Chains A and B, each alone.
Chain A
């Protein structure tokens, strides 16, 4: 896997017929191979920001650069070879197998009308190995459990052979075991990763840096231990947050209560 650095400068976005921006100018950069977590309350603009990164929306202002190149100055297929995303779209019953879904990841590497070649099959098999999906390879994706399906979608993104991986709340709806699996996977990839998370403790555990959003405004970006102060977290989520230390591990851990 090859990673590249991601540089986001002053991006903002608003829906076509609305003057009210969903995201105000936001800047950050993620060095090659680092993990950035995006946290914030519901409706804070996390998904909007991610959509700008995986080239679904074009930013009103600013630019997104991968390896120094603006993703909107290149064709969509070229961008798709650099950036892959694992999203929360449900897979309806269309009868595609796990291998067929993973093979979709090779789409941007093929010429316009060509079908998959031997090189594509090689990548697909390697990714199926990496995520131990071989035993499920011929199963209909619609028959899998949530955790298995999430792994398939990660495999599909890895088959794209990207430099940057975007994950939209990858641990949602997963049980503890599957959450831990996804987390250890993220840490093992060595890719540049931007991941939106709801769980602040998880975010401070796995991210090198955290970006915190509220009402479409960035509240700060930095290493979780330094950035996530009690005051900032309490203010952002409108709660009382207090960082404590777990006994006996001594690991920092937020506890939350509703303000009175």
Chain B
């Protein structure tokens, strides 16, 4: 695979490319966020968006020349939704990049490991069978517990089959994914057929559930797990070379892989819980970022997070506007873009 290398400098530890891409990325993210909040069924001018934001942080900075209804749309609905898009995109991209290193499989994706299937199982259980017994948090909570359960199952299977090597752990994930998914399908089959459309919507992904008071969960998880992964970027670099070589560098390879799996499950579980199943972000974004800034995880992880956030904000803009005033499930948008990207990747590898 031919790569155009942008970084060709001396061993400078703070690569100028990283800063350039980083600053451009943050600028693009802020611009995308503002745009995402302003477009929709009710168009809100950008200056109003900023006015509402500034007034929320420092009250009475701007004279209020907008209606309370607009303020509610911008502040209560669109801002949390756009921020959830950022968190989910950043989280999935970072997890995808990390899993690719520890499985030494450039096609690894958070959904490979049965995590999403577990999340789907939990959500279906809540939507069709248990009812919303603790209110709106029921679906996210059960989805998260489902993801966690599926991850524990993957770990148990890998122990039973003594599958500590990278490829066998992936196979364990695929196996568990199939089992949990068929169990979830049983739940759909025996459930109330009139309620299945809510399940379908959830399984295709959507950010419509975003609320300020719930954003703290994905934000905290992303902050903690993202920081940990970034601090471990040197170890992730070593894992791409191979288990045995990593061992000779003093790295407990099998244990580190399990740690990254559990962290990946935690992040994906929380994201899936609030957004449904959104595929391809974790697979696609790290690939593109490698072309931009190279494979060093110290650069790859933060830039992937940034690009994942921007990508999902735009995917959500498309999802909200293409069939306005209805929302299209965002998973359809990411799936379509991801599939086309895959074909492009295949062509590139051939040529």
Number of A interface residues, CB 8 Å?
50
Considering only residues 110-126 of chain A, those with a C-beta below 8 Å from chain B are 110, 113, 115-116, 121, 124-125
- The distance in angstroms between the C-alpha atoms of A156 and B242, with both chains bound, is 13
Q: Distance in Å from the Cβ of B66 to the closest Cβ of chain A?
A: 47
Of B45-53, B82-90, B270-278, B294-302, the one touching chain A: B294-302
Residues in A neighbouring B294, C-beta threshold 8 A: 95-97, 100, 140
Considering only residues 124-145 of chain B, those with a C-beta below 8 Å from chain A are none
Considering only residues 214-254 of chain B, those with a C-beta below 8 Å from chain A are 231-232, 234-235, 237-238, 240-245, 247-252
Assess whether A92 is interfacial by the CB under 8 Å rule.
yes
Q: Distance in Å from the Cβ of A109 to the closest Cβ of chain B?
A: 9
Q: Distance in Å from the Cβ of A20 to the closest Cβ of chain B?
A: 17
Considering only residues 48-89 of chain A, those with a C-beta below 8 Å from chain B are 51, 54-56, 75-81, 83-85, 87, 89
A-B contacts besides A55-B247, A80-B248, A91-B241, 12 pairs, CB < 8 Å: A16-B162, A76-B252, A90-B242, A96-B296, A97-B5, A100-B294, A100-B295, A104-B249, A107-B235, A138-B8, A142-B3, A143-B2
Q: Are A100 and B247 in touch, CB under 8 angstroms? A: no
Q: Are B244 and A138 in touch, CB under 8 angstroms? A: no
Given contacts A87-B244, A87-B245, A115-B234, contact A95 B295 (CB under 8 A): yes
Assess whether B290 is interfacial by the CB under 8 Å rule.
yes
Of all chain A residues, which has the CB nearest B247?
Answer: A56
Identify which of A75, A85, A124, A140 gathers the most chain B CB atoms within 10 Å of its CB.
A140
Q: Are A121 and B298 in touch, CB under 8 angstroms? A: no
Q: Is the interface of B mostly helix, strand, loop or mixed?
A: loop
A-B pairs with lowest CB-CB distance, top 7: A95-B295, A89-B242, A80-B250, A77-B250, A108-B250, A94-B240, A85-B248
- The distance in angstroms between the C-alpha atoms of A92 and B247, with both chains bound, is 18
Residues in A neighbouring B247, C-beta threshold 8 A: 54-56, 76
- The distance in angstroms between the C-alpha atoms of A26 and B8, with both chains bound, is 48
Q: Are B295 and A96 in touch, CB under 8 angstroms? A: yes
- The distance in angstroms between the C-alpha atoms of A212 and B295, with both chains bound, is 41
Which of A51, A80, A116 lies in contact with B249, CB distance below 8 A?
A: A80
Assess whether B188 is interfacial by the CB under 8 Å rule.
no
Q: Distance in Å from the Cβ of A188 to the closest Cβ of chain B?
A: 22
- The distance in angstroms between the C-alpha atoms of A121 and B11, with both chains bound, is 7
- The distance in angstroms between the C-alpha atoms of A17 and B164, with both chains bound, is 14
Assess whether B7 is interfacial by the CB under 8 Å rule.
yes
Assess whether B104 is interfacial by the CB under 8 Å rule.
yes
Given contacts A77-B250, A108-B249, A113-B231, contact A101 B241 (CB under 8 A): yes
Assess whether B13 is interfacial by the CB under 8 Å rule.
yes
Q: Distance in Å from the Cβ of B262 to the closest Cβ of chain A?
A: 19
Given contacts A91-B241, A92-B240, A138-B8, contact A107 B251 (CB under 8 A): yes
Residues in B neighbouring A108, C-beta threshold 8 A: 249-250
